[in-house]
Amino acid sequence: METTIIGLTRGGVHWVPQFAIELDETKCIGCGRCFKVCPRDVLEMVQRGVDDVNLDSDDDDDEDDGDNSYMRLANALDCIGCEACSRVCPKKCFVHAPMSLAA
């Protein structure tokens, strides 16, 4: 039987952390918001190569604060499951899930 990781608030309330397990790099605009709010150095900024840039994008909402970069999950095992990255991501690039104690 697998045991899911459960957190405990200062008030004694149990909660299930939702860990970052995937980041859709193709949707990422490289704005860096997730990088700024992550308390555990889970993410890294990567420069897109010329071949990686999607010039046919139909996405016209100019929220691109980035500079031809995108984020990557660099240290996913350091994620604490707070979901701060997901809350600030304007493109909804993250997938989160609970994890079991079994490694």
Per-residue pLDDT tens for 15-48? Answer: 999 999 999 999 999 999 999 999 999 999 999 8
Measure CA 52 to chain center: 20
Instruction: Give pTM, 2 decimals.
Output: 0.77
**Distance between CA 69 and CA 87 in Å, rounded?**
20
Distance in Å from the first CA to the final CA of the chain: 13
Select 18-51+63-97's CATH number: 3.30.70.20, 3.10.129.10, 2.40.40.20, 3.30.565.10.
3.30.70.20
Name the residue with tokens 């994620």. 79
Q: Band the pLDDT of 94: cuts 50, 70, 90.
A: very high
Position 38 scores a pLDDT of 97
Instruction: Count other C-beta atoms under 10 Å from residue 91's C-beta.
Output: 16
